[in-house]
Amino acid sequence: MTTVRAGFGKRLQDAMAARGPLCVGIDPHPALLQAWGLDETPASLERFAMTAVEALAGEVAVLKPQSAFFEIYGSAGVAVLERVIAEARQAGALVVLDVKRGDIGSTMTAYANAYLDEHSPLAADAMTVSPYLGYGSLAPALGIAEQTGRGVIVLARTSNPEGAGLQRAVNQEERSVAQSIVDAAAESNAGADPMGYVGVVVGATLRGGELDLSALNGPILAPGLGAQGGSVQGLRAVFGSALPHVLPAAAREVLRHGPGVADLRTAAHRFRDDLVAVFNA
């Protein structure tokens, strides 16, 4: 493993300061391919994904390719994903690979090596993980991320309605499951400056005050803007004093403006400027 010069938290903060607090998902969903006049083939996947990289990698802080939409094309799709990661990072964007892996022992280690080790062709700046085999099961990923200066973003309180029953359930310590995940991430980030390498996923669709994020000291990836019901204007009400650590994520709200590179950039700039206005209010 090769250690990079700065940890993920520091690099993310710098990217957000330089390019604004916006993460754009690269989600080659069949409906978006169709909207771009493309069919569901590896060649169309590559055209879609690389157009998004060309338009956005030099403009936004973070790109977040959704691995599943590449994996469905087999080895050809994974090859496109490798290219997306490499060219996006070369253009200056951080890459969060949305894989939501969760396992134990050597299997979790293998997942972490696949997505966080410097020598892997799929190495991103951070990966998303699921803690629902226990936060302790993430130890291999946390260790590898810390060694390599990369990040781990842990599902905590997601924007999908199906997650509420589990994530809002109260444990023996009378904390919600989601809060216990946030608190565990905060322990991993203790003492980091400006913020640690362990982030959490908290949906932008939630009620304000549902979680105490004050001690997290790490990134908060906030999906759910647009089609899922979250709004840019509502971010401060949801996240309160933790807003400076929030990385709002959008995909369709930007990608639907393609396939023109200039149109995609304009949409991303507009979205980013709206976010900056809320963050600076």
- Quote the CA–CA distance of 136 and 209 in Å, as a whole number: 26
- Quote the CA–CA distance of 1 and 68 in Å, as a whole number: 26
Which member of 100, 175, 236, 269 is catalytic?
100
Whether residue 65 has a cis bond before it, omega within 30° of 0: no
Asked if 189 contacts 196 with a C-beta cutoff of 8 angstroms, the reply is yes
Contacts of 88 (CB under 8 A, 6+ apart): 53, 57, 63, 65, 95
Report DSSP letters for the chain, one per residue: ----SS-HHHHHHHHHHHH-S-EEEE---HHHHHHTT--SSHHHHHHHHHHHHHHHTTTSSEEEEBHHHHHTTTHHHHHHHHHHHHHHHHTT-EEEEEEEE---HHHHHHHHHHHHSTTSTT--SEEEE--TT-GGGGHHHHHHHHHHT-EEEEEEE-SSGGGHHHHT-B-TTS-BHHHHHHHHHHHHHTT-SS--SEEEEE-TTSPTTSS--TT--S-EEE--BSTTSB-STTHHHHHGGGGGGEEEEESHHHHTT-S-HHHHHHHHHHHHHHHHHHHH-
Annotated active-site residue 10? The verdict is no
Catalytic machinery residues: 100
